[in-house]
Amino acid sequence: MAKQSIGPAIRNGTAAEQSTEQSTASVSRSDQAAPTAATRQETDRQEEKRRWTIEDSEALYRIQGWGEPYFSINAAGHITVSPQGDRGGSVDLFELVNALKLRNLGLPLLIRFSDILEDRIQRLNACFARAIARYNYPGTYKGVFPVKCNQQRHLVEDLVRFGKPYQFGLEAGSKPELLIALATLDTPGALLICNGYKDREYVETATLAQRLGYTPIIVLEQVEEVDLAIAAARKLGVKPILGVRAKLSAKGIGRWGTSAGDRAKFGLTIPEIIQAVEKLGAADMLDCLQLLHYHIGSQISAINVIKEAIREASQIYVELAHLGANMKYLDVGGGLAVDYDGSKTNFYASKNYSMQNYASDVVAEVKEACEERNMPVPTLVSESGRAIASHQSVLVFDVLGTSDVLPELPEPPHEKDPLVIRNLYETYQSISVENYQEAYHDATQFKEEAVSIFGFGYLSLTDRARAERLYWACCAKILEIVRQQEYVPDDLEDLEKIMASIYYVNLSVFQSAPDSWAIDQLFPILPIHRLDEEPTRRATLADLTCDSDGKIDQFIDLRDVKYVLELHPLKRKEGDGTQSHEPYYLAMFLNGAYQEIMGNLHNLFGDTNAVHITLTPKGYQIEHVVKGDTMTEVLGYVQYDSEDLVENIRRRTEQALQESRITLQESQLLLQNYERSLSRYTYLAI
Ligand SMILES: *Cc1c(COP(=O)(O)O)cnc(C)c1O
């Protein structure tokens, strides 16, 4: 998939790409006598290596593209978080994580920056305010937050509080979410949009909420709901505010494209809308119908799709008014996208418009449609979830270990060595820019030959090992050349993937980034420290689960995606002679929307620890700590009682003791570990 729309970001990005290539070049190694020009180049590359700077890291990981103005790199090579951009303070993420670890908050750790949430709400409202001013729109904007996007109590409470100055409301898509919204929203004049499938109880509760001072709007999504709403109104003697959700013919593209269109799951077709209008008219309730709603899908990457939808909806809106409905609100749903890869294109992980473009297009289109028909304009409502909640949370996790393909320089073979080994060595020696593709095929063929001869008993195990090592040495040498080519031949495209290191991370993809597993969603991932060092390894990430899908092997890139991520080699811990290494922390960004609630307990890895951080003039403050699941908790979800479990093990150790299969000391150690584990975090403590 080629990304379109070349903007300033692309130009930045090209610089990024170049610098990536330079960084690649800097690790290249040549053990052949090289001509002078090449030697000079080599020296330049060495130079380059020494000069790796935080700017190189910035360009490589494209932080500005997706993270502006919240994330950047400081002089120490650490990620810093500036919740209000350059208008406020910042916090060093690496130091924050260390400080939280000292407070016994282990990794993986979800850090929520409440100030970023506040900034997102301010930004969205400011964009609409600016558009309203620019187009002289004689109406207002009142947004709502779709609770389904992140239902965590602290977050929804913060949201309501931050939204007060803008009369920002909530959107519920189910009965439990309605309960949350009713209990949390206390902003006078803010809207409570009631979407989703509804039964009598839902409709009655929402209708009665008016009596408590809310402004609930019941959005009719199914024809049957019209009768429910009429019945509830009669029974309760309350005139509800009603809306209809239209199935637009304008379709989103990409992942969520099927949320719209005639066969979409939700909403009323045009004939059904007419039917609803007639029913409401017959019940003398047409004045209750005040809102038109649509939602064409999430993460709409292309602005033209958004425009097309708003144009169609505006016409439906004015037509409904003509049919006698008391139209006051136009709700454009969600879909405002997040630029996960920072490419500013219509790629599915990006968007080719800004929040301001979005607001301006909505305001301008609606105004034009109403003016043409001489109609008062509606109060504009949007239900942006992803665009509000994504940026505020950062998931930090550590690397447990790596598995690398690190070929050593091969020893020249003896004359009496098997022919296949001599051939492989010769191939290795011959590899050059002129013949690397051919050399790759030769090396592959010789390796296959070695396996085949081994199968017939003509090659020793040791020699087979040598053959394989030589093969990897060839691949490594060829890869160095491939990385410097503008064009990579098809058959060599996988080489980078084959040669990639595997970094084992203390994380469950199924719990913390379910969309990465389920729908290949991309999130920016990078180290939060050592950014002043060149990341010389190319890696994919493997998680803690025993599932081969528990991995991340697609990463953001300027063009399409990349299949390996540049990371630093782990640093051995000085002195203690064990396998342990210095902590190496990675973070996944922009995952504050949808991921937490859709995460599952695969392999019984539970919720991660979460903290809410706000910045203060002196630094930061920990607002809330939400401890992740303990093993007792996750076992409880699948109906195990921890006391029963302990009792069971106690019985078995007693038996083993009686049969002298275990010492008293050993049995105590076993029981202690077992019991202690139950109250512990489900992730690894390193
Ligand atoms: C999911 C959903 C939203 C939120 O969409 P985003 O793309 O996250 O902004 C809004 N409205 C409805 C009806 C939804 O189902």
Residue 438 maps to a domain: yes
Task: Tell whether 282 and 322 lie within a shared domain.
Answer: yes
Question: Hey, what are 680's tokens?
Answer: 């512990």
Candidate from 298, 339, 595 with most ligand 1 atoms within 8 A of CB, to mutate:
298
Q: Do residues 490 and 377 share a domain?
A: no
Q: Is residue 423 part of a domain?
A: yes
Residue 311 DSSP label: H
The string of DSSP codes covering 276-341 is HHHHHHHTT-GGGEEEEE----S-B--HHHHHHHHHHHHHHHHHHHHTT----EEE--S-B---SS
Q: By the 8 A CB rule, do 264 and 331 touch?
A: no
The boundaries of the domain holding residue 336 are: 139-391
For residue 299, give the ligand 1 atom closest to its CA: 7
The vertex-233 CA angle with 231 and 238, nearest 5°, equals 165
Mean pLDDT in order along the chain per 10 residues (686 residues): 40 35 33 45 57 96 96 97 90 97 95 97 98 98 97 97 98 97 97 97 97 97 95 97 92 57 78 97 98 95 95 97 98 97 94 97 98 97 98 97 85 93 96 95 96 96 95 94 89 90 96 93 97 96 94 93 96 74 97 93 95 94 95 96 97 97 96 96 91
Is 588 within 8 Å of 523 (Cβ atoms)?
yes
Final residue belonging to a domain, choices 391, 407, 433: 391
Pairing of strands 561-562, 609-616: unpaired
How many helices (H) and strands (E) the chain has is answered by 24, 23
What is residue 25's predicted lDDT score, i.e. its pLDDT? 32
Question: Does 458 reside within a domain?
Answer: yes
* Residue 226 to residue 216: CA distance in whole angstroms: 16
Which residue out of 194, 370, 474, 546 is catalytically annotated?
546
Q: What share of the chain is helix, strand, coil (3-state, %, to 5)?
A: 45, 15, 40
Instruction: Tell me: do 351 and 442 sit in the same domain.
Output: no
Looking at residue 409, what is its pLDDT? 84
Question: Do 335 and 481 belong to one domain?
Answer: no
Tell whether ligand 1 has an atom less than 6 A from the beta carbon of residue 267. Answer: no
Query: Using omega within 30 degrees of 0 as the cis cutoff, is the peptide bond preceding 138 cis?
Result: no
Q: Atom 14 in ligand 1: which residue has the minimum CA distance?
A: 334
Regarding whether 432 and 289 lie in a shared domain, the answer is: no
Q: Check which CATH number belongs to the domain holding 199 and give it.
A: 3.20.20.10
Which sign does the torsion angle of CA 69, 73, 74, 79 carry? positive
Given a contact cutoff of 8 angstroms between Cβ atoms, the answer to whether 66 and 589 are in contact is yes
Q: E-assigned strands of 1-115?
A: 71-73, 79-81, 91-92, 109-113
pTM above 0.95, yes or no: no
Residues 360 and 236 in one domain: yes
Strand, coil or helix: what is 86?
helix
Is 575 within any annotated ligand binding site?
no
Domain boundary, last residue among 450, 476, 495: 495
Closest CA to 229 of 142, 162, 147, 289: 289
| Claim to verify: residue 214 and residue 302 sit in the same structural domain | yes
Q: Quick one: which of 626, 629, 349 has its CA closest to 511?
A: 629
Number of domains in the chain: 3
Q: Which of 111, 58, 119, 65 is nearest to 88 (CA)?
A: 119
Judge if 462 and 341 occupy the same domain: no
Amino acid found at 215? T
Alpha-carbon distances of 577 from 406, 572, 573, rounded to whole Å: 22, 9, 8
Residue 491 identity (one-letter amino acid):
D
Considering the domain boundaries, does residue 242 fall inside one?
yes
Run of H or E including 649: helix 642-658
Residues 231 and 338 in one domain: yes
Last residue of a domain, one of 495, 518, 535: 495
Q: Is the CB of 295 under 6 A from ligand 1?
A: yes
Answer yes or no: do 348 and 387 share one domain. Answer: yes
590 is in an annotated binding site: no
Tell me how far the alpha carbon of residue 382 lies from the centroid of ligand 1, in angstroms: 9
CA of 432 to the centre of ligand 1 (A): 54
Residues 243 and 379 in one domain: yes
Phi then psi dihedrals of residue 49, to 5 deg: -60, -45
**What CATH code is carried by the domain that includes residue 455?**
1.20.58.930
Strands 585-588 and 609-616: unpaired
Cβ of 177 less than 6 Å from ligand 1: no
57 Cβ closer than 6 Å to some ligand 1 atom: no
Q: Tell me if 195 CB under 6 Å of ligand 1.
A: yes
417 is in an annotated binding site: no
Asked, as a colleague might, if the bond just before 69 is cis with ω within 30 of 0, I would say yes
Any ligand 1 atom below 6 A from CB of 293: no
Query: Does 312 map to a domain?
Result: yes
- For residue 194, what pLDDT is reported? 98
On whether 189 is known to bind a ligand per the annotation, the reply is no
Cβ proximity of 355 and 362 under 8 Å: no
* Residue 475 among the catalytic residues: no
Q: Do 371 and 244 fall into the same domain? A: yes
- Assess whether the C-beta atom of 385 lies below 6 angstroms from ligand 1: yes
Indicate whether 403 belongs to any domain.
no
Ligand 1 atom 10: residue of nearest CA: 334
Would residue 182 count as lying in a domain? yes
User: Is 17 part of any domain?
Assistant: no
